[in-house]
Amino acid sequence: MERLHGIPFRDKGGLLREGVDIHQICQLAGQVFFKMMFVHGTFHSDPHSSNLFVMDTTKLGLLDFGSVGRLSQRTRDALANIFLGLASEDYETVVNEYVELGTVVGKVDVASFTRDCREIIEPNFGVPLKDVNIGALIRDLTVAASKNNIRVSQDLMLLTRALLVLDGVVRDLDPEFDLFSEMGEFVRELIKSRYSPQRLAKDVLWTLQDASQLLRALPRQLKQVLSRLSNDELGFKIEINNLEKLNINTIRSRHFLAFSIMISAIILSSTFLVTSKVGDTILGLSAIGVFGYIVGGSLFLLSLLFFIRK
């Protein structure tokens, strides 16, 4: 371990007494963090004011690396595209990159997610960049992604927290400081590096390696499939959503139809008995027929109430 000598960011008075240029040191903090994020892919995920020290005007000291986030090259590229989408009001790019970054845990309603992104992003247009909290913006987009069945990685959650913390730290020192602009330079450099000969060669190499692995595995996997087919070990499973509910409704419909036929038979029989005046009479009508009407009518009302409730 090495002892760091410097002035913590939380001691604004001490920084001013030492003649430190507050704006310059905030700029340096942004450059250090975004270089870790976009260039090295490893970042300090808890950059609060007690963990940042000013050692001199060109050097910062960082403490407490107990929480560190890591970003793959693919994640860094996606983040650069997201920030470009935010700057250009390209909501589709933001949505597509979040889908690529996250894990889809259900059906994604792209139209709904795009609408949520627009509601989050649009209030920031026309607002001075120094007043845009990029950490809060990414946090709200991440919440919207989760709402639309997209789960982002733990490292991206750490990055969101780190941006929120760093934005609060530099705003406490210099309320006019624009952290978003400091990030823009690194985003542009990252996008330019995608088309460098070294990066293109690396991408081609990885693509060829993936294709080679696929071609080597394909014959073996195809042989396994054909073997299982020949031994009748391979089948297809078809699932119909809500099939159980459909079966229940079908059974209920059959019961209701049979019940209706029975009620109709009772009423028709009662009509025949009433007109034939068989047996005892009530007010000149067959008592058995009248009783049949009462039973049939009661059953009809009960079945009607049951049908309405279901």
**Residue matched to tokens 């080679």:** 212
pLDDT in tens, 240-262: 666 666 666 677 777 667 767 77
Sheet of 59-62: strand order equals 7-8, 52-56, 59-62
pLDDT in tens, 258-310: 767 776 776 666 666 666 666 666 656 666 666 666 776 676 677 666 666 65
- State residue 1's pLDDT score: 44
pLDDT in tens, 39-84: 888 888 888 888 888 887 778 888 877 788 898 888 888 888 888 8
Taking the C-alpha atoms of residue 190 and residue 39, their distance in angstroms, rounded to an integer, is 8
Taking the C-alpha atoms of residue 37 and residue 44, their distance in angstroms, rounded to an integer, is 9
Please say whether the beta carbons of 75 and 37 come within 8 A: no
pLDDT in tens, 101-153: 777 777 777 788 888 888 887 777 766 666 777 777 788 888 888 888 888 88
Predicted TM-score of the model (pTM): 0.59
Reported as half-sphere exposure (CB side, CA atoms, 13 A), residue 188 has a value of 7
Query: What's the length of the chain?
Result: 310
User: Three-state SS for 68?
Assistant: strand
Report the amino acid identity of residue 295.
V
Provide the percentage of residues in the chain whose pLDDT is more than 70. Answer: 71
User: Three-state SS for 53?
Assistant: strand
Taking the C-alpha atoms of residue 221 and residue 274, their distance in angstroms, rounded to an integer, is 79
